[in-house]
Amino acid sequence: MSVDEEMSGSELTRREFNTTLAASAALVSTAGSVAAQTAEPFDLVIRGGRVMDPETGFDQVANVGVRDGRIVAITADDLEGGRQIDASGHVVAPGFIDTHFHWPRPMGNKLALLDGRTSVMDLEIGTLGTMVDAWYAERAGTNQINYGCASAHEFARALVLDGNTAIDTPEALNTRGSDKSGWALTRPDIDQGNEILRVIDEGMAAGALAMGSTLGYMRDGASAREVFEIQRVAGRYGRPSAFHFRYTPGTDTSEANGIQEMLANAASLGAPAIACHFNNPGYNLVHELLTRLRAQGHNVWGELYPYAAGSTALNAVFLEPEVWVDQLGYKYEETIQDAISGEWYTAESRAEMIAKEPARLVLVYKMPEEAIVDWLKLPDVAIASDGMPIMDGSITWDTPYEDLPNAHPRGAGSYARALRLGRENDIPLMQTLAQCSYNSARPLGETGLKAMQERGRMQEGMVADITIFDPETVTDNATYAQGNLPSSGIPFVIVNGVVVVDGGEVLRDVNPGQPIRHEPRDSLFEPLDVEAWERTFVAVPTDFGGGVPNMQPVYDASVIPCCE
Quick: pLDDT tens for 200-236: 999 999 999 999 999 999 999 999 999 999 999 999 9
Which range (365-369, 399-403, 548-552, 559-563) has the least confidence? Answer: 559-563
Average pLDDT on 73-93 reads: 96
Amino acid 179: pLDDT:
57
Which range (12-26, 72-86, 118-132, 545-559) has the least confidence? Answer: 12-26
pLDDT tens-digit readout, 391-448? 778 899 999 999 999 999 999 999 999 999 999 999 999 999 999 999 999 999 999 9
Cα–Cα distances in Å, from 431 out to 54, 127, 377, 381? Answer: 7, 32, 8, 10
- For residue 17, what pLDDT band results from cuts at 50, 70 and 90? very low
Amino acid 166: pLDDT:
78
Amino acid 542: pLDDT:
55
Amino acid 533: pLDDT:
85
Which range (111-125, 315-329, 468-482) has the least confidence? Answer: 315-329
Amino acid 40: pLDDT:
82
Burial class (CB in 10 A: 0-12, 13-18, 19+), 284: middle
Average pLDDT on 98-104 reads: 96
- Contact status, residue 411 vs residue 404, Cβ threshold 8 Å: no
HSE at residue 119, side-chain half, CA atoms within 13 A, is: 30
Residue 29 has pLDDT above 60, yes or no: no
Residue 543 has pLDDT above 80, yes or no: no
Rounded to 5 degrees, φ, ψ at 213 are -135, 130
Closest by Cα among 95, 178, 188, 147 to 457: 95
- Contact status, residue 249 vs residue 364, Cβ threshold 8 Å: yes
Amino acid 81: pLDDT:
87
- Contact status, residue 319 vs residue 350, Cβ threshold 8 Å: yes
> To 10 degrees, the CA torsion angle through 22, 23, 27, 32?
10
Regarding predicted confidence, which is higher, 241 or 162? 241
Distance separating alpha carbons of residues 438 and 434, to the nearest angstrom? 5
- For residue 169, what pLDDT band results from cuts at 50, 70 and 90? confident
Average pLDDT on 18-22 reads: 39
- Contact status, residue 151 vs residue 517, Cβ threshold 8 Å: no
Distance separating alpha carbons of residues 403 and 405, to the nearest angstrom? 6
pLDDT tens-digit readout, 252-298? 999 999 999 999 999 999 999 999 999 999 999 999 999 999 999 99
Q: What is the mean pLDDT of the chain?
A: 89
pLDDT tens-digit readout, 466-502? 999 999 999 999 999 999 999 999 999 999 999 999 9
- For residue 551, what pLDDT band results from cuts at 50, 70 and 90? very low
Burial class (CB in 10 A: 0-12, 13-18, 19+), 162: middle
HSE at residue 160, side-chain half, CA atoms within 13 A, is: 27
- Contact status, residue 503 vs residue 90, Cβ threshold 8 Å: no
Amino acid 128: pLDDT:
96
- Contact status, residue 242 vs residue 123, Cβ threshold 8 Å: yes
- For residue 18, what pLDDT band results from cuts at 50, 70 and 90? very low
User: How is residue 344 annotated by DSSP?
Assistant: B
